[in-house]
């Protein structure tokens, strides 16, 4: 879920529901205002079904959620067994929403929330263990997805890590991002999800 001044404006999102795992059905708060484009529950459920086929269980994994918005993608991963998630967003309302959601769900000890530019943070954050799953959901009509993926130091990604990029059909990232290779792409209306993998 993306926030930011250049985000596609689609109206206020009153809440986002977790669709799977131990916290299934719990409702998340979303950043107020029109500057948030939520990843729909249908798309999120489809993404995690695909990830299950690619990765199997998320038990014990570390996750990075860039342009995190409400934190729904990273929290969904925690609900499904990930041990830790790092959330990055440059918008103060988003950071406030993420922290509130983590507090409400008792997940604060399993998360780090970083306020700042996602590209810059992707380059300098050092995870406690390499990330096995990365979500990148930047504003549409930008090159931020490509820049963010390329900014992540290869050593911060686990062997076989999966990077999930949400984008519109006019701004798809290239088939290869450094050593990352696109292995799948799915379309849901105007939204496309590209899956990149680190060679194992």
User: pLDDT tens digits for 45-65?
Assistant: 999 999 999 999 999 999 999
Nearest to 193 by CA among 153, 135, 133: 135
Q: Is 171 helix (H, G, I), strand (E, B) or coil?
A: coil
Residue 7 has pLDDT above 50, yes or no: no
What percent of the chain stands above pLDDT 90? 78
pTM of the model: 0.90
Residue 116 has pLDDT above 80, yes or no: yes
Domains of the chain as residue ranges with CATH: 2-197 (3.40.50.150)
Kindly give the pairing relationship between strand 84-89 and strand 111-115.
parallel
Nearest to 188 by CA among 50, 43, 44: 43
Residues 6+ apart with CB under 8 A from 182: 173, 174, 175, 176, 194, 195, 196
pLDDT, residue 131, reads: 98
Query: Higher model confidence: residue 165 or residue 6?
Result: 165
> Average pLDDT, whole number, for the chain?
90
A 10 A CB-CB count for 187 gives 9
Residue 38 has pLDDT above 70, yes or no: no
């Amino acid at each position: 879920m993306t926030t930011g001044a250049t985000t596609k404006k689609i109206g206020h999102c009153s809440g986002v529901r977790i669709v799977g795992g131990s916290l299934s059905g719990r409702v998340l708060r979303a950043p107020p205002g029109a500057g948030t484009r939520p990843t729909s529950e249908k798309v999120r459920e489809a993404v995690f079904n695909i990830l299950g086929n690619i990765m199997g269980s998320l038990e014990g994994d570390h996750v990075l959620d860039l342009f995190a918005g409400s934190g729904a993608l990273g929290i969904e991963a925690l609900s499904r067994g990930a041990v830790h998630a790092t959330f990055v967003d440059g918008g103060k309302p988003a950071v406030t929403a993420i922290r509130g959601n983590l507090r409400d769900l008792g997940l604060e000890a399993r998360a780090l929330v970083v306020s700042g530019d996602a590209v810059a943070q992707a380059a300098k954050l050092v995870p406690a263990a390499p990330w096995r799953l990365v979500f990148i959901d930047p504003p549409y009509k930008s090159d931020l997805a490509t820049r963010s993926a390329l900014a992540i130091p290869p050593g911060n990604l686990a062997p076989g890590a999966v990077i999930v990029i949400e984008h519109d059909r006019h701004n798809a990232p290239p088939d290869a991002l450094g050593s990352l290779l696109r292995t799948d792409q799915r379309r849901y209306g105007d939204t496309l999800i590209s899956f990149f993998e680190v060679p194992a």
